[in-house]
A = this chain, B = another copy of it.
Amino acid sequence: MSLDAVLSRIDDDLPAATDRLLDLLRIPSISTDPAYKAECDRAADWLVRELSDLGVETSKRPTPGHPMVVGHLGDTGPHLLFYGHYDVQPVDPLDLWDNDPFDPQIEDTAKGQVIRGRGSSDDKGQLMTFIEALRAWKTVKGDWPCRITFFLEGEEESGSPSLVPFMKENADELKTDIALICDTGLFESKTPAIVTMLRGLLGEELTITGPSLDLHSGMYGGIAMNPVRVLSKIIASLHDDTGRITVPNFYDGVPELSDDLEAQWQGLAFDHQKFLNDVGLSTPAGEQDRTPLEMIWSRPTCEVNGIWGGYTGDGFKTVLPSKASAKISFRLVGTQDPLAIRENFRAMVTDMLPPDCEVSFNGHGASQASGADFSDPMFESARKALTDEWQVPAAYVGCGGSIPIAGHFQKILGTEPMLIGFGKDDDALHSPNEKYDMESFHKGIRSWARILDALT
């Protein structure tokens, strides 16, 4: 039977495939919040059942955190690994969602049908594109395309604490010819892309303590040091006036863009005005001497992801708070060393403390940047398959986000990662009203069928 028959089967089965995805989306598997631990477990069970029903030898594997789902199929041909994650981001602020984030809906919009709900794009919808492609293949051909190992994680949105130990302990089982990772997007929502450059991530939470208890700002205001003032000064000093990050030695290991890649990126004609306008902005806010694509793909960043201290409810409370906290993350490129940066950041913060203030740190993940070696001919085969499906030449691109597992495949397993995904820029990842276009889901499934055909 031909690839066309598989693609037809995918088209015919789309309503049922959508129903299966909606079923998975209904499970609120928020990995970062301990209150949802049982739900993460339930999502893992759902996947074990789904893959087992398909005929994949699958098991739920315990970790100190949320479980891994590992499955194996096939016994001849090249050996591929498929990675995705079944956990999702928290949903607050909940009042900005138009619907219950875990009661997913198919909506008709001006831009076409979308699947609305938390995790629809990141990453349950993407993960299911591969499973549905395999299902259609098996149904039509009665056999598997090649050897495939499934490796599905439940801690991607909470720093993947169990990932590296698990990969090390199960290296023999997880070693394959290539690792397909489906957690990225189309370039500018229309060009299929294989990501070959990924930023690393360093997460730091810090708490400044001044007075030993919350004080009345009338009684102590003006004589007691306010930790919010200290924290604000620290945050304000993390960038200089040109947008450069001021942590000592921060730029060690940051490479300049190669002429080749620079030329290729210029060819992409990135519309940064549209990219910014879509989210209510107009002015690139990064380093002043860099292009917008460099800012989001190849330059390191420092962002405050959260800040809190004192009274934050309705009305006013004249408290001089004892503590102020922030969550800060750095995106890393090239060979920047996350642990050295963590040390330098902490030393810099500690040096800025005025008398009577203390700081405590809590690290949240530290991963180096990674890039794929796309000289393996499987990359060109996959790129051609993507081009065939989308009728637009597929591109090798950078990615601002951090998918630490890409680097782990290289370092721990010696396997090259191939990052292919079908998300769009307006999917509202990590935001209220997250969605996944029906086009992404449908053509994503078809893309994997074509890639499986091309690689085997």
Listed in ascending order, the chain A residues whose CB lies under 8 Å from chain B are 31-34, 89-90, 92-93, 96, 157-159, 199, 201, 203, 205, 210-226, 228-229, 231-239, 272, 275-276, 279-287, 292, 295-296, 299-301, 303-321, 324-327, 329, 331, 354-356, 364-365, 399-402, 425, 428-432
Partner of A216, one of B31, B213, B312, B429: B429
Task: List B contacts of A301 (CB < 8 A).
Answer: 217, 221-222
The 10 closest A-B pairs by CB, nearest first: A218-B401, A212-B280, A32-B315, A306-B310, A222-B301, A232-B235, A228-B304, A236-B236, A225-B285, A283-B355
> With A314-B32, A431-B213, A432-B213 given, is the CB distance from A307 to B222 under 8 Å?
no
Q: Which residue of B lies closest to A35 (CB)?
A: B314
- B356/A281 in contact, CB under 8 A: yes
A314 to B222, CA, bound (A): 32
> With A221-B331, A316-B364, A327-B310 given, is the CB distance from A281 to B210 under 8 Å?
yes
A392 to B284, CA, bound (A): 66
Q: Which residue of B lies closest to A362 (CB)?
A: B316
A441 to B365, CA, bound (A): 53
- B232/A304 in contact, CB under 8 A: yes
> With A32-B316, A218-B402, A280-B212 given, is the CB distance from A285 to B92 under 8 Å?
no
What's the number of copies of this chain in the assembled complex?
Answer: 2
- B216/A430 in contact, CB under 8 A: yes
Question: From residue A301, how far is it (CB to closest CB) to chain B in Å?
Answer: 4
- B430/A318 in contact, CB under 8 A: yes
Question: From residue A365, how far is it (CB to closest CB) to chain B in Å?
Answer: 7
A305 to B317, CA, bound (A): 7
A295 to B226, CA, bound (A): 14
- B313/A220 in contact, CB under 8 A: no
> With A292-B223, A329-B316, A401-B219 given, is the CB distance from A321 to B305 under 8 Å?
yes
A272 to B224, CA, bound (A): 11
5 contacting pairs across A/B (C-beta < 8 A)? A211-B281, A221-B331, A225-B281, A228-B307, A283-B356
Question: From residue A358, how far is it (CB to closest CB) to chain B in Å?
Answer: 9
Q: Which residue of B lies closest to A315 (CB)?
A: B32
Question: From residue A311, how far is it (CB to closest CB) to chain B in Å?
Answer: 4
A91 to B238, CA, bound (A): 34
Task: List B contacts of A216 (CB < 8 A).
Answer: 401, 429-431
Interface hub of A32, A233, A306, A401 (most chain B Cβ within 10 A)? A306
- A218/B311 in contact, CB under 8 A: no
- B311/A305 in contact, CB under 8 A: yes
Q: Which residue of B lies closest to A284 (CB)?
A: B223
Question: From residue A235, how far is it (CB to closest CB) to chain B in Å?
Answer: 4
> With A281-B356, A285-B223 given, is the CB distance from A205 to B316 under 8 Å?
yes
Question: From residue A210, how far is it (CB to closest CB) to chain B in Å?
Answer: 7
